[in-house]
Amino acid sequence: MKEFEDKFSELQADMISICMEYIEDRADKVYVYASCEGNITSSKFFYLINNKYVKCHKVNDALGDGDERYDVSPNRMLMVLNIINEDIEKVENLCKEYEREMPTEMKLIYNVQSGKFKAEYNYDLVYTNDDVKTANHIADEWFEEVKINNL
């Protein structure tokens, strides 16, 4: 039991860690959306920087004058997404190994200042049973929810 939880936590921590590396540890909060539904694995990440909620490709918009710019090159962004997706697949394998139900959705929030970590899990189908929505739609909806509610 403890071993499963430890490994599960390590994989979540790795998702947060790579997102922190992307912005050189300069954020107030880190948000990761991780999805695994059917044979679709998907992820997105965004930040709270200087009291502004920004998607990963827009992090420089949150900086003040004179702040060092972030490297938001497509290659760096893709590297982060690939690592998160690999971690999602590792979570799926871990759940199979320990005969646990795999979450279809994980919403991770890391508060950099306090070190507090919050995770929400969903086990129901979120988008594969919808004719229109994709994982990207759901991740974008969460981004808007976070902004509106200051999560």
Whichever domain contains 43, its CATH number is 3.30.500.20
Helix, strand, coil percent content, the chain, rounded in steps of 5? 45, 25, 30
C-alpha closest to that of 49 among 58, 59, 40: 59
Q: What is the pLDDT of residue 130?
A: 87
Give the pairing type, strands 29-37 and 105-111.
Answer: antiparallel
pTM of this structure: 0.94
pLDDT-based confidence at residue 102 (cuts at 50, 70, 90): very high
pLDDT-based confidence at residue 5 (cuts at 50, 70, 90): very high
The structural domain count of the chain equals 1
- Token readout for 72 is 């938001």
The predicted-structure confidence for 105-147, as pLDDT tens digits, reads as follows 999 999 999 999 999 999 999 998 888 998 999 999 999 999 9
Whole domain around residue 37: which residue ranges? 2-149
User: Sign (positive/negative) of CA torsion 101, 107, 112, 113?
Assistant: negative
